[in-house]
Amino acid sequence: MIKQVLLLFICLSLTHPLTAQDTLNTIRDTTYITGDSLLISSYDSTFVDTTKSLMGEDVAAQVDTLTPLYQQPFTVNSSFITRREFLKTDYKYTPNLFDLFSLSFLNDHGLAGHPDELFLYGVSNYGTSYFKDGIYDNDRLTGFLDLNTVQSENIDSIEIVPSPRAFLYGPYNSAAAVNFITKDEISLVPYSRVKYYEGAYGEAMIDGIYNSVIFKKFVLAVDITNRKKDRSYRNTDYGIWHVTAKLKYLLSNSVNLTGSYEHVNSNVGLNGGVNIDSILAFTSDLNTFLYNNSAPVNYLQRRYENEQHNFKLRLFGKLFNTSNSDINVYHKIYQNEIINPIVDYNLYRNEISGAAVRQKLLVSFAELSINGNYEYSKLKYLKSDSLFFNEYDYKYNNYSASGIVSAYFADSLITPSFFYKISGEKELNSGLSASSHGSGLDVFINLYDNFKLYFGYSIYETNRTSGNSASTEAGASLNFENLYLKLNLFSRKDFSVASRIPNQPNFNFGSINGAGLVLNYSFWNFNVQTQSSIYYNKENLYYLYPQFQFSGGLYYTDKLFNDNLDLKTGLTFYYYGKKDAYTLLNLAAVAPSNRIDFMLVGEIQQSATAYFTFENILNSEYYLIPYYPMLERSIRFGVAWEFLN
């Protein structure tokens, strides 16, 4: 498998003649924004030409004198996790990147490939709108997104929208919103990169990227990923293939066209966790077998299979300096199957055709941002067992439109914004229709470029329910040479998500208050990085997370061997507080737990990066979800290499 992927990328690299240039000029980190929403100050940064800011006029002019256009984030008031940040971490897959955001928690099953739930602002994947380059990516039938299907190596940055603005984007009103901004590079000579890592129980990942200007105005980018894991506990093996291909056409300085195709195919065992009843039948000491890989499990054959085909055509337009247009037309096919031979079978199928438009316009000291979406969805849910066969077919028209008006006072010292959204849904089978509204405001204050304040509030109707939800957030950040401090406070009331699956109750996330703190401090060659969060007044009966969690690392950083090695190494401590009992699922509370990891990341001559992680070095025995034991002491290592450039 590894040899086949390497051979493919070597062949791709050789199909384009190398020029006489001896350096690689690549546009990277195309959004080029800091990792803190409160550090972005200038209003006209929305309209800065990314190409010029990163590589300069002279480099851009080499592509037939054209300046490429790039996407803009939903809002510069978002929090951003940039590629420069997460490349210095020991992440395995996309949800691990959110460790850099304090108000996040991964409900980790401890099994590679399992569709884990990520909590942001106290809501899981069912209550979070996930976007990929501005296109809503959740399953329209279940509302869920399996984050295993988001290619980590194709991410340029992650935009986490402030909670009061989360409902504004996409066809549905959610309490949290995330936009994955993918890499959009212009490489003047063929660029290729391979990343490989290997861990316990045969877990491995190989990813290959190829990028090249194939004609004067055409840019081709390909990313192929394969992840796999052998069995640890019974029925826990996993495999996924993920292919993304993108062709960008630089029509002019004012118009760029991009066509892309994405394919995902994955298969993972869903064993349902350890069967504790079988253990307790012959011993009262649950821990005797709970952490043994030979422990009995609930399902020996149940599998989860996912297949996707995503097509997209995108137009970037910049008719004049203070205007940005982003128009997308897309067609998506998702099919998820949960297969338990002889026992039962569940099929979830989405076929979606849609369009999304984003338009930004700056007039004097004010900015207008308009977002529009339309979708036609054909959804199928099929459930069968030994006694029944039920099939449900739905057809929907969905639309939404939102507008944001921002004003910039005192050279962007104070930026108030007002926003409104209307959305609607019509079920074509029955003719039933429903609409929802939402509105809010926020203000961003930038003091001396190193002290930022944010406050926002919104109220909106929840989709397909009769209730309203309200979100409030306040934040402050302080940034000096050796100290970075960021505090976020949020409050949410009465948020729920109606299910389209027959006989499945709504996802009731209730009301919650919370706070997140980031504190980083540097001295000499040492760096202390901490993230912590606390939640209180919870009314969440379905999905629970620790009332308090903390992660902190002490790292040594230095450039060694005449600056040929950029090193970061140290220890990271994780603490998860008690999780209340799952009363509706009849599961016990989860006790507090902790672990310590050792990490080493070294970048060699800015072309290769080596990773080494000694995870859970004290071999702590714990679980975050009953009863899915976390991985025991293990080693993971890997390398990322930019070659043939």
pLDDT in tens, 415-445: 999 999 999 999 998 899 999 999 999 999 9
The structural domain count of the chain equals 1
Give the lowest-confidence range in 65-79, 112-126, 395-409, 471-485. Answer: 65-79
Tokens of 561: 């061997």
Give the pLDDT band (50/70/90) at residue 209.
Answer: very high
Closest C-alpha among 448, 515, 451 to residue 483: 451
Q: What's the domain range around 215?
A: 2-643
User: 278-290 pLDDT, tens per residue?
Assistant: 998 888 888 889 9
Q: Does residue 32 sit in helix, strand or coil?
A: coil
Distance separating alpha carbons of residues 83 and 132, to the nearest angstrom = 16
On the question of pLDDT at 187 being above 80, the answer is: no
User: 300-328 pLDDT, tens per residue?
Assistant: 999 999 999 999 999 999 988 888 999 99
How many CB atoms neighbour CB 358 within 10 A? 20
Distance separating alpha carbons of residues 411 and 301, to the nearest angstrom = 63
Q: How much is the pLDDT for 47?
A: 30
User: 34-64 pLDDT, tens per residue?
Assistant: 333 333 333 333 333 333 333 333 333 344 4
Q: How much is the pLDDT for 538?
A: 67
Distance separating alpha carbons of residues 601 and 639, to the nearest angstrom = 9
Q: How much is the pLDDT for 540?
A: 58
Q: How many helices (H) and strands (E) does the chain have?
A: 5, 29
Tokens of 339: 């297969």
Torsion of CA 626, 627, 633, 639, to 10 degrees: -80
Give the lowest-confidence range in 78-82, 266-270, 530-534, 576-580. Answer: 576-580
CA angle 628, 631, 636 (to 5 degrees): 150
User: 7-24 pLDDT, tens per residue?
Assistant: 444 444 443 333 333 222
Instruction: Report the CATH number that the domain containing residue 321 is assigned in CATH.
Output: 2.40.170.20
Q: Please state, in angstroms and as integers, the Cα–Cα distance from residue 354 to each residue in 156, 333, 427, 438, following that order.
A: 24, 12, 16, 22
Q: How much is the pLDDT for 584?
A: 57
Average pLDDT value over all residues in the chain: 86
Q: For the residues 190-218, what does the mean pLDDT come to? A: 93
Q: Are strands 176-182 and 128-132 parallel, antiparallel or unpaired?
A: parallel
Per-residue b or e along 539-574, where b marks 16 or more CB atoms closer than 10 Å to that residue's CB: ebebbbbbbebbbebebebeeeeeeeebbbebebeb
Closest C-alpha among 494, 514, 510, 490 to residue 442: 490
Q: How many residues does the chain have?
A: 645
Closest C-alpha among 231, 207, 297, 307 to residue 267: 307
